[in-house]
Structure 1
Amino acid sequence: MLTCKQATAAMSQAQDRKLGLRERMNLGMHLLMCRGCRAFNRQLAFLRRAGHRLAGNDGEPPK
């Protein structure tokens, strides 16, 4: 199982690239068990949407 440090690194990397199957499975398992990392993941998503809105993209990531 991933540590919180590894999980947060994977969540950050997922913002820039698609994670592999094993990475997604390990991260998903960690998120099922870790409330703190789930909160961090929600915060990352919020910041990404806010950044896109400020850039004039209506909260949608670039295609």
Structure 2
Amino acid sequence: MSNIPYQRLDDAEVYVSDHEIVITGIPDEDDENHNCDHMGCSSINHVLFRAPLNNPIRKEQTPNR
């Protein structure tokens, strides 16, 4: 296993699409830098982290001509 530092969070969820990774959960109460409009939060979840994937998991396939 690699030596990548991590922290286990009981109240967070990770979503991976074909082009981005999104981690949702509850921000710290004193987190003044959290901006729901900027992060794209919904009325159900707060987005804690959002980042594009450099190499999309699924690539669009063009039909054979």
TM-score (norm 2): 0.22
Q: Which of these two proteins has the greater Rg computed from alpha carbons? A: 2
Greater share of strand: 2
Greater share of helix: 1
